[in-house]
Amino acid sequence: MPKKSKRTKKSTKKKVMSGAEHTGFIAILMLFVGFSLYGIFYFYNSTSLYLNTFKASVIEGDAISGDYEVDDEVAYDDESENDDGAVPEIPSECTTCPRIPVCQPFCEYTELVLDQSERYEIFTDVWSDHTYALPIETLYKLGIIKGYDDGSFKPDQTLNRAELLTIITNAVDADFSGASYDYCFSDVTNQWFAVYVCYAKTHGWVAGYADGTYKPGDTIDKAAALKITMEAFGYEPAETVTTPPMSDVPVDSWYAPYVVTALDAGIISNNPTFNASHQITRAEIVKTVYNAMAF
């Protein structure tokens, strides 16, 4: 009789992982988790750096436009300082913070720059450490004001009524085309200042005196200069004045509504007194116009 072949019975026991194998698996798992966390952290930092760099190319959500281009090597971050707290490097065209988009991130540092930089001349009688250096230099660079032939500005000299309107019409970038601006008052005919005075009259900034004159050569007080400036820039006087905005400004005075609005808009400082009859100087009107332009 033939012999039956002997079959080997296959074991059904599950292989149990040894202690050493278990430890190795845990180590590999932890290594994988570590690399994953590192990758996430690196991606987050890289993305944040990119977003911060991208943010530097815009100003409060508006892309920088116009004739001024951003230097790729300069970081325009409106909230950044150097690690040591020093003022960041500021482009030369922005040292007085003119109203161009590329300069806006540096406006908060402008005063510091004027203090820390080497003293320099703006006019022969106005240097970079002058009280009104910032508004005077800014408006000068923008072509709104000019000095005298001798290179001076005469900041403490009182301003006349014709000069006031010349500065303000330049500041609002008045368009003189399409109309004839002359012979608008009995004493304003075709003089050099006629175009500025007559433009102001046409737009309701000034009305002149009852006798039909404007008196362009007269000085102008602080209250009248403030009223004309605010009307030229479209600021509305306060509808009601219930309490004196300053100790020497009665609630029923004609200029009180303008003072209230000017204080709210930061056009004038909140001093104890206003001194409405003070004859305004050239430097003072430049500062008022500068503030009205909302730099």
- Kindly report, residue by residue over 73-114, the tens digit of the pLDDT: 333 344 444 445 555 666 665 655 554 555 656 565 554 444
Tokens of 66: 């116009």
Average pLDDT per run of 10 along the chain, which is 295 residues long?
47 51 68 67 51 39 37 40 55 56 56 60 95 96 96 97 97 92 97 97 96 98 98 96 96 98 95 96 97 85
In this prediction, residue 86 carries a pLDDT of 56
In this prediction, residue 12 carries a pLDDT of 46
Tokens of 202: 């046409």
In this prediction, residue 21 carries a pLDDT of 58
Cβ-contact 287, 132 below 8 angstroms = yes
In this prediction, residue 36 carries a pLDDT of 67
Alpha-carbon distance 183 to 180, whole Å? Answer: 9
Angle (nearest 5°) at CA 159 between 157 and 165: 150
b/e code 156-195 from CB counts within 10 Å (16+ = b): eebbbbbbbbbbbbbbbebeeeeeebeebbebbeeeebbb
Residues 6+ apart with CB under 8 A from 255: 223, 224, 226, 227, 249, 276
